Amino acid sequence: MKLLQIKGDKMINVTLIGTGGMIPLPGRYLASCHIEYNGRAILIDCGEGTQISLHKGKLSLNKIDTILITHCHADHVTGLPGLLLTIGNHGRTEPLNIIAPRGSTKILNSLLVVCGFLPYEVRIAELHDTKPQEFNQIGLKITSIPLKHHINCLGYSLELNLRPHFRPETAKELNIPVKLWRLLHNGEDVVVDNKTITPNMVLGNPRSPIKISYVTDTRPVKLIDEIVKNSDLFICEGMYGDDEQLSGAVEKMHMIFSEAAKIALNSNVKELWLTHFSPSMPSPGDYLEAAASIFQNTVIGRDLMSKTLKSK
């Protein structure tokens, strides 16, 4: 058991809560994604139907610490008042953070007037809309991605940095008592028999983080490629499947499947999940090939599709 803890296996659960854009359809609620790590959760966007889908997926509302908002279009925020009221009914008293692009506070506060009294504090913070910002929530490092849409809009990359593995064999060879192993794994020096042992003497190679990126609503911009680089999971809008709908996508500031796939390819991500489908496309799977011919590991998102990303 001790060895397992020292090894520090970590996991993040990602669940698509709603995969619709603009208008909800039966079985397809509006934009939202749930990311859980170490017993706490971040919700990205909160379109209409979010709380119903969370309930259906048996995802606890009490775990939600922070709600990241991409932008204040109705299909991304109108689920907020109902969700916050239900969270209040569940007895929450701890503050809840809402983080959104510049200019969102006024809009969100107007929306939340209908909540009346909430038994906890809602803290709204704004991020730059033109340059990326880094911050930490629930133990994950988050980087915002300024996007190109009709209003200020941000994507988000979430990373779990992993400490190098501890090498018990080396620690034993150096006669380091087991009770000091954790200190070394946490990056502290220890002294054994008047000799200083530094962490690099007993730790393995650096490890790449577990990385999840979420991008909607936008046209493709260079910054997306840079920030989502090497993501284990890249969740991206695919408003329309057919390449022939490109001009409509340009006009409405959205992306078609092949554009999302090109970003996935250029950014060297491991897996692409498409989401935020137009209501004019009831069966997005019909267009899978438009993306998969460019980036093979493409999956058509659906409500409550879920994946556990584990550290290696």
Q: Please select the residue that binds Zn ion; options are 48, 129, 159, 217, rule is CB under 5 A.
A: 217
CA trace torsion 93, 11, 79, 131 (10° rounding): 100
Question: Is 21 an interacting residue with respect to Zn ion (CB under 5 A)?
Answer: yes
Query: Which residue number, 31 or 184, has a Cβ lying nearer to Zn ion?
Result: 31
Instruction: Determine the Cα–Cα distance for residues 28 and 180; give it in Å rounded to an integer.
Output: 52
Site for Zn ion in 55-84 (CB under 5 A): 73, 75
Q: How many CA within 13 A on the CB side of residue 219?
A: 13
Minimum CB separation from Zn ion for residue 298, in Å?
20
Asked whether position 24 contacts Zn ion by CB under 5 A, the answer is no
Establish if 252 lies at the interface with Zn ion (CB under 5 A): no
Instruction: Considering the candidates 45, 65, 75, 189, report the single residue annotated as catalytic.
Output: 75
3-state SS, residue 3: helix
Binding part of the chain for Zn ion, among 6-14, 16-24, 123-131, 255-263 by CB under 5 A, reads: 16-24
Shortest distance (Å) from residue 123 CB to Zn ion: 24
The minimum distance between CB 99 and Zn ion, in angstroms, equals 17
As given in the structure block, the two tokens for residue 203 are: 């730790």
Q: What is the signed CA dihedral for 116, 117, 118, 123, rounded to 10 degrees?
A: 70
Contact between residue 241 and residue 294 where contact means Cβ atoms under 8 Å apart: no
Query: Is 34 or 73 the residue whose CB approaches Zn ion more closely?
Result: 73
What Cα–Cα distance (Å) separates residue 183 from each residue in 160, 178, 189? Answer: 20, 10, 7
Active site residue 9: no
Q: Which residue is nearest to Zn ion (CB)?
A: 73
Residue 45 in contact with Zn ion, rule: CB under 5 A: no
Would you please indicate which residues are annotated as catalytic (active-site) residues? 75
